[in-house]
């Protein structure tokens, strides 16, 4: 059930009705049942996996808390990691690992006996496994008590708006909210509705339209020239941003309709001033998870290594972020590139600070934003090129010199420009806007109603309704 589909909205409305007609004490169960129905609709076997993860971690969480000795706590921690990571590695990385090890052996023994043909990655697995690991680590560190209420814990993992595409929630944020429901809060309904509409705009009007062009270029790379490739490269980050943040907005908006506040996942990332800043604004739930559970512990443990300890921690963290996306080498390289940029940031911090004092703010900031965007855009080329022949094609294209820019249909370009301008302007306002620029909020409900109805109609006029799959579903 893709969240831009009609089925999803029918499901959402039905769940909302049942939810608000139910007494507050039963509402967790309503959401649990709805989430199970949702996940079963996607695929029944996925439900078995998630229920396994839920039940084992529920028990282990309590055991860790009840353990007297650190040794015992650690044993339980390892058990939980074994189960969680074992499941994740099996579904996601097994075949890739076998293939890579086989590169070192002359025969196909491994390939013939260990490659499994039918491993299909359950949707949402990477998201909820990480969420569960975070929960267990919080208990292990003593920053949180285990959740004794099984239904509450189940809902914490199962909650359908965030199930397929995140955000990767934290116990601190989500658990307390489950059970404390308002009777019926119109602010929630309005805010949720607005977010959903905006998410649909980003996904259907901006992301899917750009992908028509970018896919056309990438599917036939050898026949394009360098200038076309550059245009596609500059458009692709906007596509990925609109795509992922669009789906996230629909998720957060859907949750909001139930009165639940999920965590922010994007914070105008295209306006980041440097790569460190960028990773505080992009896929925040993943990057802050890695920062809290991997980066910070490593950096603290290796504090005697000085700044090399930080470099070491950055490399590991970003390789993990890269590999979270998929089981191939291009994701590893993507991670290393990001780490390199952050190391650069680290080493040049003082230099850049001095530079910023000598150049007028507007110029320095604009350049910083543009450079950061260009960096991200070109690093995404690695992300999108999933095999070696693709990489060869790209190098070939870049050396081919400029020629006539490939436009495909002029109307596609026009739609792309209009959609991107609306999106970037809105983000610009969110980033720099003081309240008086926040026109939409100030003028009262008629203005808002008009604005959002025009937005809905523009989605119908300019959205891409045929095809267009979410990039981040495959994680």
Binding span for another protein by CB under 8 A among 96-104, 260-268, 286-294, 329-337: 286-294
340 binds another protein (CB under 8 A): no
Burial environment of residue 372 by CB neighbours within 10 A (0 to 12, 13 to 18, 19 or more) = buried
Compare residues 351 and 445 and give the one whose CB is closer to another protein: 445
- Sequence-distant (≥ 6) Cβ neighbours of residue 79 within 8 angstroms: 60
Q: What is the largest CA-CA distance in the chain?
A: 72
Asked if residue 167 has a cis previous peptide bond (ω within 30° of 0), the answer is yes
225 binds another protein (CB under 8 A): no
Q: For another protein, what does the binding mask look like between residues 427 and 446, x meaning CB under 8 A?
A: ------------------x-
Compare residues 26 and 308 and give the one whose CB is closer to another protein: 308
392 binds another protein (CB under 8 A): no
Contacts 24+ apart (CB under 8 A), 403-411: 403/225, 403/226, 403/227, 404/225, 405/227, 405/228, 405/231, 406/216, 406/217, 406/224, 406/225, 406/228, 408/212, 408/213, 408/216
351 binds another protein (CB under 8 A): no
Q: Single out the residue of 52, 105, 307, 389 in contact with another protein (rule: CB under 8 A).
A: 307
314 binds another protein (CB under 8 A): yes
Structure token pair of residue 24 = 């507050």
**C-alpha to C-alpha distances, 471 to 237, 245, 310, 331, 381, nearest whole angstrom:** 12, 11, 31, 14, 14
68 binds another protein (CB under 8 A): no
265 binds another protein (CB under 8 A): no
* Contact positions with another protein (CB under 8 A) in 83-122: none
C-alpha span between 136 and 138 (Å, rounded)? 5
C-alpha span between 280 and 292 (Å, rounded)? 12
C-alpha span between 156 and 177 (Å, rounded)? 10
415 binds another protein (CB under 8 A): yes
Q: For another protein, what does the binding mask look like between residues 128 and 147, x meaning CB under 8 A?
A: -------------xxx----
462 binds another protein (CB under 8 A): yes
403 binds another protein (CB under 8 A): no
User: Footprint of another protein on this chain (CB under 8 A)?
Assistant: 6, 141-143, 183-184, 186, 189-190, 222-223, 276, 279-280, 287-288, 291-292, 295-297, 299-301, 303-304, 307, 309-310, 314, 342, 346, 410-411, 414-415, 445, 449-450, 452-454, 456-457, 460-467
């Amino acid at each position: 059930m893709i969240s831009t589909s009609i089925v999803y909205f029918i499901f959402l409305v039905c769940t909302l009705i049942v939810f608000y007609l139910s007494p507050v004490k039963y509402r967790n169960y309503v959401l649990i049942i709805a989430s199970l129905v949702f996940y079963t609709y996607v695929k029944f076997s996925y439900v078995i996996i998630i229920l396994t993860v839920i039940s084992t971690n529920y028990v282990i969480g309590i055991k860790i808390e009840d353990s007297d000795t650190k040794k015992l706590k650690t044993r339980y921690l390892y058990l939980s990691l074994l189960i969680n990571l074992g499941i994740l590695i099996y579904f996601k990385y097994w075949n890739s690992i076998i293939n890579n090890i086989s590169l070192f052996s002359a025969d196909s023994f491994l390939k013939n006996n260990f490659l499994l043909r039918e491993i299909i990655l359950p949707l949402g697995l990477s998201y909820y496994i990480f969420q569960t690991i975070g929960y267990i680590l919080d208990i292990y560190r003593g920053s949180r008590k285990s959740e004794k209420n099984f239904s509450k814990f189940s809902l914490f993992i199962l909650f359908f708006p965030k199930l397929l595409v995140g955000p990767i929630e934290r116990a601190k944020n989500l658990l307390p909210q489950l059970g404390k429901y308002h009777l019926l809060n119109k602010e929630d309904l309005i805010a949720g509705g607005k977010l959903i509409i905006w998410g649909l705009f980003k996904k259907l009007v901006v992301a899917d339209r750009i992908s028509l062009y970018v896919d056309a270029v990438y599917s036939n790379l050898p026949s394009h020239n360098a200038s076309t490739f550059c245009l596609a490269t500059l458009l692709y980050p906007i596509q990925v941003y609109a795509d992922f943040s669009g789906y996230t907005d629909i998720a957060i908006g859907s949750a909001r309709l139930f009165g639940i506040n999920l965590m922010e996942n994007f914070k105008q990332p295209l306006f980041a001033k440097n790569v460190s800043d960028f990773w505080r604004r992009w896929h925040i739930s993943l990057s802050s998870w890695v920062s809290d559970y991997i980066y910070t512990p490593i950096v603290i443990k290796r504090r005697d290594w000085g700044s090399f300890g930080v470099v070491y921690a950055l490399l590991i963290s970003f390789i993990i972020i890269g590999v979270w996306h998929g089981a191939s080498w291009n994701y590893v390289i993507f991670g290393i590139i990001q780490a390199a940029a952050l190391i650069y940031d680290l080493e040049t911090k003082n230099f850049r600070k001095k530079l910023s004092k000598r150049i007028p703010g507007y110029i320095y900031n604009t350049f910083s934003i543009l450079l950061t965007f260009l960096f991200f855009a070109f690093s995404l080329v690695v992300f999108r090129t999933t095999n070696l022949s693709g990489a060869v094609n790209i190098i070939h294209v870049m050396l081919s010199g400029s020629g006539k820019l490939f436009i495909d249909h002029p109307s596609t370009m026009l739609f792309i420009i209009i959609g991107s301008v609306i999106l970037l302007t809105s983000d610009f306002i969110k980033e720099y806007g003081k309240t008086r620029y926040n026109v939409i909020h100030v003028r009262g409900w008629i203005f808002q109603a008009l604005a959002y109805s025009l937005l809905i109609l523009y989605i119908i006029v300019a959205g891409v309704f045929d095809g267009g799959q979410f990039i981040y579903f495959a994680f």
